[in-house]
Amino acid sequence: MPTSPPSPGPLRSAAELNAAIRALFTHRDTRLSDAQRAEYRRLLDELRQVEQGDVTAAA
């Protein structure tokens, strides 16, 4: 019987993810490169997962 690998838990806390997001915006007028925008979207997705996990755990 095949087993699926366990889904990995969040690797970083919400605070760590927020810090990484803030680090992308070093200056107020900063325009993100394509790679930075992709990283920003990935960080937001990871943050959303962490936040949803917090709500699920609290419920």
- Per-residue pLDDT tens digits for 1-34: 555 555 555 578 999 999 999 999 888 887 899 9
Q: What is the pLDDT of residue 29?
A: 83
Token pair in block for residue 20: 């990484």
Give how far Cα 11 sits from Cα of 30, 32, 34, 53, Å. 27, 24, 24, 12
- Does residue 41 or residue 54 have the better pLDDT? 41
Checking if the pLDDT of 36 tops 60, the result is yes
The whole-chain average pLDDT of the chain stands at 81
Residue 55, classed as helix, strand or coil, is: helix
Question: What pLDDT band is residue 58 in, cutting at 50, 70 and 90?
Answer: low
Q: How many Cβ atoms from other residues are within 10 Å of residue 1's Cβ?
A: 2
Q: Are 17 and 43 in contact (CB under 8 A)?
A: yes
